[in-house]
Amino acid sequence: MKKLFLTLCVALFSVGAFAQEKGDMAVGASFNYNTDASMVGIGARYQYFIIDNLRGDAEFAYYLKKDGVSMFTVLASANYLFNITDQFAVYPLAGLGVAIGKVDAIEVHVPGVGTVKSESTTTSDFIGQFGAGAQYFFNDKFGVNCEAKYQFGSGGTFVLAAGILYKF
């Protein structure tokens, strides 16, 4: 039992600090859920630390087609990290971007008229977002994050995201 306790203590004290500093960069992938449209999305992101604890975040998310509707968002955000431990941080986020949606053409059979076909349409909207997130780094390179954010433009929706990060 003493050997196990000693091994755990050595392991805990040998973990290095993973704080974020000016010039640090990371890339990642995410899984997103748009609660308003009930759409699932996949995303990619790039992060750059402008100064210690303040980073810019560029994010692209593609939402898989549901009921003939697909969508993607491109957003730029700012995050300020509050380090709870060397490996764990929480952060508020705020940003701006664009959302682009596409509705597929549909065919409807109308009795007495025949088949009526609609045109596919694409629409776009400038959007803003604010929310909060948390990240945990397992070592000096790999980590995970999760975010809850409200995105607004002509309308509004709540988005949940979880992902992986690689810092270089």
Which option is the CATH number for 19-167: 3.30.70.1150, 2.40.160.20, 3.20.10.10, 1.10.150.120? 2.40.160.20
Per residue in 5-34, pLDDT (tens digit) is: 444 444 443 333 445 678 889 999 999 999
Q: State residue 119's pLDDT score.
A: 85
Share of the chain above pLDDT 70, in %: 88
Give the whole-angstrom CA distance, residue 168 versus residue 153. Answer: 34
Give the pLDDT mean for 112-132: 89
| CA nearest neighbour of 157 among 104, 99, 79 | 99
Length of the chain, please? 168
Answer yes or no: is pLDDT of 112 > 90.
no
| CA nearest neighbour of 134 among 146, 123, 124, 121 | 146
pLDDT band at 106 (very low <50, low <70, confident <90, very high): confident
In the chain, domain spans:
19-167
Answer yes or no: is pLDDT of 146 > 60.
yes
Share of the chain above pLDDT 90, in %: 71
Amino acid (one-letter) located at 49: F
Q: State residue 22's pLDDT score.
A: 82
Looking at every residue in the chain, the average pLDDT score rounds to: 88
Answer yes or no: is pLDDT of 2 > 70.
no
Q: State residue 156's pLDDT score.
A: 92
Per residue in 40-88, pLDDT (tens digit) is: 999 999 999 999 999 999 999 999 999 889 999 999 999 999 999 999 9
Are the C-beta atoms of 115 and 123 separated by less than 8 Å? no
Give the whole-angstrom CA distance, residue 15 versus residue 11. Answer: 7
